[in-house]
Amino acid sequence: MSHSLANRFSDKVAVVTGAASGIGEATAKRFIAEGASVILSDQDDKALHNLAASLPKDRAIPCIVDQSRADQAAHSIETAIHHFGRLDILVNNAGTTTMGTVLDSSIEDWHRVAAVNIDGALFSAKAALPHLIKTKGCIVNTASVSGLGADWNTTLYNISKGAIVNMTRALAVAHGPDGVRINAICPSVTHTGMTEDLLTQDDYKATLLAATPLRQIGQPEHMAAGILFLASTDAAFITGVNLPIDGGITASNGQPPFKA
């Protein structure tokens, strides 16, 4: 890490949901490395405490939260205020998915996906905003390229991430006058525990690489870099943006290559 980034978030306090693994873990680690204090929010008790044990204990506080439950969604925010007296950054990263079309999926499937992906983000934002208005802070949501365009066979996830895309815009419009910026990253398929089985399928991996102009699989560190940019002063005049971090996937119109 360059010297200029080493203390980019010194004296800042961030809440990262879904922090125990994948994009959330990479984001939390990078915030810590750049000087922030972080509330590590997740429902995976063991993984969360293992992560916290690897980080400075005075700047990394684990917080066991089930984002699908409305009565718990504000707990991470309350923990930040209790420990550090302020909040500057909320990263709404917790998420889940299910495979299939709407006909394959149950009402219970939808309630679970919507509760984590939509309700958790909205209720965390609602709890955070009064504190972010005081600090002129920001929110960075983890949306998805699946919220910008549809995938085959993940209908409920697509619907939920489409909601996050427009939630980002709506909150940005509503709270820009308060001095709060709200943006989102839109990852393509990223190599995390959630996608491990998918990416071990050689045919799927080959198809994904062929559809990605940079011919790489997205890594959690790629997404963390985008989140920290949007949370930084370098993005001081950016709000309401849904930033694809996808190796160029959304640069394509989706048609297969023409034959020469």
The set of catalytic residues is 157
What does the alpha-carbon distance between residue 181 and residue 139 come to, in Å, rounded to a whole number? Answer: 6
What does the alpha-carbon distance between residue 177 and residue 179 come to, in Å, rounded to a whole number? Answer: 5
List the structure tokens of 244: 């694809």
Q: Which amino acid is located at 81 in the chain? A: I
CB atoms within 10 A of CB 135: 15
- The secondary structure of residue 249, as a DSSP letter, is G
The answer to whether residues 227 and 185 touch, using CB atoms and an 8 Å cutoff, is yes
Nearest Cα to 246, choosing from 143, 163, 160? 143
List the structure tokens of 72: 């718990």
The answer to whether residues 42 and 68 touch, using CB atoms and an 8 Å cutoff, is no
Q: What is the DSSP string of 175-198?
A: HGGGT-EEEEEEE-SB-SGGGHHH
The answer to whether residues 151 and 169 touch, using CB atoms and an 8 Å cutoff, is no
What does the alpha-carbon distance between residue 43 and residue 224 come to, in Å, rounded to a whole number? Answer: 20
End-to-end CA, the chain? 44
Largest CA distance in the chain: 63
